[in-house]
């Protein structure tokens, strides 16, 4: 995250003075960022990498014709008759490293066209003991180049399916290492009331993903051990080198009446300003105090006018949902990514709406601390009719 360009629903700052309510023109007005009292909304933040490889054990791929197949994102193998697409299953606990948490690839072959899971020369999928997919590693490596890459796989990984573009006759063997990476974990976050009163430690399950020059600190939104009383709070978190303060949030015991927006991508969202990590588990979640009301009904039609009468040939009717809410700048920063997401949905009073389009239109209030926002979205409500003009003409 860079200043005034927030990537997370719950933002984090390097100083408590950067909290939204502490800006001089806000005059201590706190925007109510709603979260369930029994779990915070998922969040992540970036830091300069503190990760380092401690130890590793490795081998070179030994492939056979029986291991031919395309590795798919759901952890299945699709039959392959080509000269590429060979996979191998690894079990991290079988290696010499104590408590292995990462896998590394060295001497990768140049990728071939037509790989199934990604456009890359190596793919890996982490599975738990029930063969449920926990995460997918699929770096994009340009054609004709080789790279060394690594991946800190998710907690609970029992086995890893790995595929490279090697084949049994290849002279270039990809070396694969399973090892332990010290990701310099963060301490247990400390909870404060909005007025600065210390509440105490708030145990959260925090993960750290290494992105090369950056580490991404991730909270996936697991349920809290004890629900928070209704109120406004913020968190303080440190890794011994850096200290961060969260934005002030409002814990609510009954979150059901609120409008919920969830969005996520298939792969990491990489921008010049940073990266949002999507590892198959992370999803953005936002709660708004709003209701769906006053929908619009856009209508399009094509046809021709003959003898003073219009004969429609194609007609398209849509229903566009709308809702309104107030938002501060940091929330608008992250909401602009909803329209760009691979997947997005809204839940409201037990109804679920997959989003085809999403648009926010903010109008800043006079005092400048919040904007009045009109939001609209389309879902599967399109009705189309063709040939009306022809039918009328025949009659």
Q: What's the CATH code of the domain at 92?
A: 2.60.120
Instruction: Kindly state whether residue 40 falls inside one of the protein's structural domains.
Output: yes
One pLDDT digit (tens) per residue for the chain, 395 residues = 445 689 999 999 999 999 999 888 887 889 999 999 999 999 999 999 887 766 666 655 566 667 777 778 788 887 766 656 678 888 888 876 777 888 887 766 555 554 455 444 677 889 998 988 888 887 766 555 566 677 888 878 999 988 766 555 555 566 777 888 777 878 899 999 999 999 999 999 888 888 878 889 999 999 998 999 999 999 999 998 899 999 999 999 999 999 999 999 988 898 888 899 987 789 999 999 999 988 889 888 888 888 888 888 888 888 899 999 999 999 999 999 999 999 999 999 999 999 999 999 999 988 878 999 999 999 887 888 887 655 555 55
Q: Contact, 168 vs 86, CB < 8 A?
A: yes
pLDDT of residue 176: 76
- Single residue among 223, 251, 285 that ends a domain in this structure: 285
19 and 118 in a common domain: no
**Structural domain total, the chain:** 3
Domain that holds residue 114: 52-181
- Whether residues 43 and 191 share a domain: the answer is yes
Element (H, E) at 393: helix 388-394
42 & 59 share domain: no
67, 154: one domain: yes
Q: Are residues 170 and 196 in the same domain?
A: no
H/E segment holding residue 232? strand 231-238
Question: Do 40 and 69 reside in the same domain of the chain?
Answer: no
CATH of the domain at 207: 2.60.40
Same domain for 140 and 56: yes
Residues 145 and 229 in one domain: no
Question: Of 285, 311, 343, which one is at a domain's C-terminal end?
Answer: 285
Same domain membership, residue 334 and residue 308: yes
**Residue-level pLDDT at 115:** 44
248 and 128 inside one domain:
no
pLDDT at 265: 93
> Is 248 inside any structural domain?
yes
Q: How far is CA 54 from the centre of its chain?
A: 29
Claim to verify: residue 279 and residue 337 sit in the same structural domain: no
Q: Which tokens hold the place of 357? A: 């389009």
pTM here is 0.73
275 and 316 in one domain? no
Cα–Cα distance for residue pair 21/277, rounded to 1 Å? 28
Domain end point (choices 181, 210, 226): 181
């Amino acid at each position: 995250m860079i200043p005034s360009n927030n990537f997370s629903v719950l933002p984090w700052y390097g100083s408590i003075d950067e909290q939204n309510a502490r800006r001089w023109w806000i005059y201590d007005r706190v925007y109510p960022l709603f979260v369930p009292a029994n779990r915070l909304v998922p969040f992540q933040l970036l830091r300069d990498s503190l990760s380092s490889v401690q130890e590793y054990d490795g081998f070179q791929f030994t492939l056979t014709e029986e291991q031919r197949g395309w590795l798919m994102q759901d952890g299945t193998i699709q039959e392959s008759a080509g000269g590429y697409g060979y996979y191998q299953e690894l079990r991290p606990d079988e290696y010499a490293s104590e408590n292995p948490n990462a896998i590394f690839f060295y001497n990768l072959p140049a990728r071939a066209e037509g790989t199934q899971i990604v456009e890359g020369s190596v793919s890996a999928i982490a599975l738990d003991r029930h063969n449920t997919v926990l995460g997918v590693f699929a770096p994009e490596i340009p054609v004709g180049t080789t790279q060394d890459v690594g991946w800190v796989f998710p907690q609970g990984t029992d086995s890893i399916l790995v595929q490279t573009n090697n084949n049994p006759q290849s002279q270039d063997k990809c070396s694969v290492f399973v090892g332990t990476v010290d990701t310099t974990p963060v301490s247990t976050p400390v909870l404060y009331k909005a007025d600065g009163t210390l509440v105490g430690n708030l145990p959260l399950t925090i993960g750290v993903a290494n992105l090369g020059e950056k580490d991404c600190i991730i909270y996936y939104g697991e349920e809290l051990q004890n629900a928070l009383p209704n109120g406004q709070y913020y968190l303080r978190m440190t890794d011994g080198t850096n200290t961060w303060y969260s934005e002030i949030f409002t814990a609510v015991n009954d979150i059901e009446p609120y409008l919920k927006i969830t969005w996520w991508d298939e792969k990491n969202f990489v921008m010049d300003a940073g990266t949002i990590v999507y590892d198959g588990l992370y999803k953005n979640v936002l709660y708004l105090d709003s209701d769906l009301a006053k929908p619009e009904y856009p209508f399009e039609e094509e046809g021709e006018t003959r003898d003073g009468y219009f004969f429609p040939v194609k007609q398209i009717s849509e229903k566009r949902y709308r809702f309104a809410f107030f938002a501060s700048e940091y929330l608008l920063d992250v909401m602009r990514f909803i329209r760009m997401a691979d997947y997005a949905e809204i839940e409201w009073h037990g109804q679920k709406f997959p989003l085809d389009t999403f648009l926010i239109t903010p109008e800043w209030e006079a005092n400048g601390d919040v904007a009045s926002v009109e939001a609209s979205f389309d879902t599967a409500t399109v009705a189309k009719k063709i040939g009306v003009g022809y039918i009328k003409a025949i009659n």
